[in-house]
Amino acid sequence: MRPEAPSGGNPRFDRFQTRLARRADFSSLSAARRKACLKRLKRNEIISQTGSGKECEHVSMNITYIIGVIGAFLIMVIGMMQGGEQFLTPEQIGNFADGASIFITIGCTIMILIGSFPIKQVTSIPKHIGILMNTKRYDPMNIIEQLVNLAQIARKNGLLALEEQGNKQEDPFFKQCIMLIVDNNDADQVKDIMMNDIEQSSGRHESVAGMYDKGSSVAPAFGMVGTLVGLINMLKSMDMSSADGSSNIGTSMGTALITTLYGCVLAHMIFGPIAQQLRQRDEEEVLCKLIIVEGIMSIQAGANPKFLREKLMTFMQQKQRGEAPA
């Protein structure tokens, strides 16, 4: 049964529900979409196989994120050093450091995040970074092989024989899907439960990514606030009647503008990439879960294992299909 179209409510969930409605019939999932998700899976994974019969775990070191963020910082620092006709000295690089500006930009941004999101979500920032840098990942090919193996067992010994295989599963979603068909639940109800699980999980992931979007939007704003505070203080302390009244304008103006720099760096080098990476991880997880759903529903319907393999391999790139075991 195809999920219903959104009927209003939370726009974030409505958008995801619309996406699920298009994906419910797996033939409607575009090849370009599957290719993009699988390309990200392959690009970010360093594969380490676990024991047979268990899901393959991937220790993922997000090299592209590391290169992108560190490279941006290095290019910015090199640009700072090229002060006019000659490179700046390390002491002059210190001109770009200002404690008050850092306090205003970072402090106010964090306070707004605390005021906008649950404290548990804000304090989980280290966990989110860990997910980006080194996380357990799904392997679509391994999932397909497991589903084909389950189909062979079910075809020979019936659905009840899958209970033992389900208990061996380490992935909670995969295990739940197996147990639902072992208990001989209605196929439409089983699919509703699994699709709702995907929707709610992706909604939680979107909420986390939305927190970093919020940080990306407010950081430049507080950078500008810091700049305004600096300009106000500069103008109030300026004494144009004295001989040195205008001699320090350049220095004071530079200090005021540093806060805007911090806001832009925080938004576009920190928060922005994290939000985008989290959404990419969510898309990859959704793709793998959709493969599980399609496989489980086919097993419950008594699909031939060979046909099931061909059906699930349509999620893979053409060159990967040829590498799959027969």
At a CB cut-off of 8 Å and minimum separation 6, what does 298 contact?
A: 151, 308, 311
For residue 97, tell me if it sits in a domain: yes
Mean pLDDT in runs of 10 for the chain (326 residues)?
A: 47 52 46 52 40 40 85 86 65 78 92 93 89 71 90 91 88 92 90 93 92 94 90 77 61 80 93 91 88 93 90 80 59
C-alpha angle 304/56/131, rounded to 5°? Answer: 130
For residue 28, tell me if it sits in a domain: no
Ordered alpha helix ranges (H), 125-248: 125-133, 140-157, 162-168, 172-182, 187-237
**Confidence at residue 313, expressed as pLDDT on a 0 to 100 scale:** 86
Region label for 25, one of left (φ > 0), alpha (ψ between -120 and 50) or beta (otherwise): beta
d(CA 281, CA 303): 30
In what helix (H) or strand (E) does residue 82 lie, and over which residues does it extend? strand 82-83
CA distances from 151 to 21, 139, 170, 298, 324 (A): 26, 19, 19, 8, 17
Amino acid identity, position 33: R
Name the token pair of 157. Answer: 């010994």
CB atoms within 10 A of CB 316: 19
Name the token pair of 258. Answer: 């540093």
Question: Cα(first)–Cα(last) distance of the chain, in Å?
Answer: 31
- What's the pTM value of the predicted model, to 2 decimals? 0.74
CA distances from 73 to 110, 123, 143, 271, 287 (A): 21, 25, 39, 14, 33
For residue 157, tell me if it sits in a domain: yes
For residue 105, tell me if it sits in a domain: yes
**Confidence at residue 236, expressed as pLDDT on a 0 to 100 scale:** 78
Per-residue pLDDT of 55-68, as tens digits, reads: 334 445 678 888 99
For residue 194, tell me if it sits in a domain: yes
Domain count, the chain: 1
For residue 225, tell me if it sits in a domain: yes
For residue 5, tell me if it sits in a domain: no
Name the token pair of 310. Answer: 């061909």
For residue 51, tell me if it sits in a domain: no
d(CA 129, CA 116): 20
Which residues share a beta bridge with 57?
48
Name the token pair of 181. Answer: 């068909």
Per-residue pLDDT of 252-311, as tens digits, reads: 777 788 899 999 999 999 999 999 989 988 888 888 999 999 999 999 998 899 999 889
Q: Would you say 98 and 256 are in contact if contact means Cβ atoms under 8 Å apart?
A: no
Q: Would you say 263 and 226 are in contact if contact means Cβ atoms under 8 Å apart?
A: yes
**Confidence at residue 55, expressed as pLDDT on a 0 to 100 scale:** 39
**Confidence at residue 38, expressed as pLDDT on a 0 to 100 scale:** 52
Region label for 54, one of left (φ > 0), alpha (ψ between -120 and 50) or beta (otherwise): beta
DSSP 211-244: HHHHHHHHHHHHHHHHHHHHHHHHHHH--TTSTT
Range of the domain at 286: 34-46+56-238+249-323
Amino acid identity, position 133: M
Q: Would you say 273 and 69 are in contact if contact means Cβ atoms under 8 Å apart?
A: yes
